[in-house]
């Protein structure tokens, strides 16, 4: 009876352990799934960080190369400006020599253009119209005179042409400097943005790695619990097996005692010369008495 109670208690304990075993297995599988997902996320983040760093370095190289071009263009612009100033001074010197005192050709042309615009866009009285026409004629005469002098004087003409040419080249180079500087700034901003994104992803990667390690440790712990429960269940099964084997041996011993007692009774009858049945003879043979 005690043995039966022990087996029942052990079976109940085994049942509880199997329940815990299943829970540990479920927990381990769930944590392993999360760990694998985090592992994939780590891989994705590492690849993205490398990609943004590569892009950032490429933008940095582009920026540095453009800045070299900016420096070259600035140098060229400076050289053009320097040459332009020299020619401009020479032109001013020649203009003072060949032109009478008064406004420059450029200022006369600007004034003429402004008066013509006024004539076309404003409502003028007859007197105002006449005064304007008279002034335009005067300015036109001065312009023609200065242009004549300019055309007749080769040295002045060539210097004026050179002055305009250098001014145009300088302005063009200045525009190129501005365009290149803008491109360099854009590349710089792109570089900063790429490195910023890489740093943000690094922070996320750090969190993911921490979570990954914790989940992996918990998964390992759940696995150890799983193995512990398996071993405990096996121990209980061995105990149950041992109890059942012991019960079987006891039962066999009891049956053997009964058999020997019965065989001894039959043997005593045999010794007295009493008639034995076939069953009695078989029993004596089984007991090893004949």
To the question of pTM greater than 0.85 for the whole model, the response is no
As a whole number, mean pLDDT of residues 1-10 equals 71
How far apart are the C-alpha atoms of 132 and 101, rounded to whole Å? 23
Structure tokens at 65: 């190369």
* Residues 186 and 178: beta-carbon distance below 8 Å: no
What value does the mean pLDDT of the chain take?
87
Residue from 109, 84, 110 nearest 172 by CA: 84
Pick the range with the lowest mean pLDDT from 30-34, 74-78, 230-234, 275-279.
275-279
CA-CA distance, 17 to 10, in Å (whole number)? 10
DSSP type of residue 100:
P
- Compute the distance between CA of residue 93 and CA of residue 164 in angstroms, rounded to an integer: 16
User: Which residues have a Cβ under 8 Å from the Cβ of 215 and sit 6 or more positions away?
Assistant: 31, 34, 35, 38
Sign for the CA dihedral angle at 184, 185, 186, 192 comes to positive
Separation between Cα atoms, residue 90 and residue 128, nearest integer Å? 40
Chain-centroid distance of CA 170 in Å reads 45
Cα separation, 140 vs 134, in Å, equals 10
> What are the CA-CA distances from residue 129 to residues 108, 109, 117, 132 (Å)?
19, 19, 13, 5
Each residue of 89-101: pLDDT tens digit? 998 888 777 766 7
pLDDT in tens, 36-60: 999 999 999 999 999 999 999 999 9
- What confidence score (pLDDT) does residue 180 get? 96
Dihedral of CA atoms 53, 209, 29, 18 in degrees, nearest 10, equals 170
Does pLDDT of 286 surpass 80? no
Q: What pLDDT was estimated at residue 220?
A: 94
What structural domains and CATH numbers belong to the chain?
2-239 (1.10.287)
Q: Is the pLDDT of residue 272 over 50?
A: yes
Residue 2 pLDDT > 60, yes or no?
Answer: no
What is d(CA 166, CA 160) in angstroms, rounded to the nearest whole number? 10
Rg (CA), the chain: 57
């Amino acid at each position: 009876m005690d043995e039966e109670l022990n087996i029942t208690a052990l079976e109940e304990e085994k049942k509880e352990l199997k329940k815990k075993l299943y829970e540990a297995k479920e927990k381990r599988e769930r944590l392993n799934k999360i760990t694998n997902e985090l592992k994939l996320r780590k891989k994705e983040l590492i690849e993205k960080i490398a990609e943004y760093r590569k892009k950032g370095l490429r933008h940095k190289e582009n920026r540095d190369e453009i800045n070299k071009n900016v420096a070259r263009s600035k140098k060229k612009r400076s050289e053009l400006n320097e040459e332009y100033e020299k020619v401009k001074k020479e032109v001013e010197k020649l203009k003072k020599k060949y032109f009478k005192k008064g406004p420059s050709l450029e200022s006369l042309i600007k004034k003429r253009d402004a008066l013509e615009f006024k004539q076309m866009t404003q409502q003028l009285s007859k007197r105002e119209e006449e005064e304007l026409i008279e002034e335009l004629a005067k300015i036109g005469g001065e312009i023609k005179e200065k242009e004549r002098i300019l055309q007749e004087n080769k040295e002045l003409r060539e210097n004026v042409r050179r002055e305009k040419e250098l001014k145009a080249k300088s302005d063009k180079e200045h525009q190129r400097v501005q365009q290149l500087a803008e491109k360099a700034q854009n590349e710089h901003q792109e570089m900063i943005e790429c490195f910023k994104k890489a740093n943000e992803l690094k922070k996320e990667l750090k969190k993911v790695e921490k979570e990954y390690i914790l989940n992996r440790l918990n998964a390992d712990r759940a696995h150890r619990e799983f193995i512990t429960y398996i071993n405990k269940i096996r121990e209980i099964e061995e105990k149950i097996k041992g109890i059942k084997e012991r019960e079987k041996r006891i039962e066999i011993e009891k049956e053997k005692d009964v058999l020997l007692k019965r065989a001894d009774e039959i043997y005593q009858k045999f010794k007295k010369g009493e008639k034995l049945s076939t069953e009695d003879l078989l029993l004596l043979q089984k007991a090893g008495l004949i």
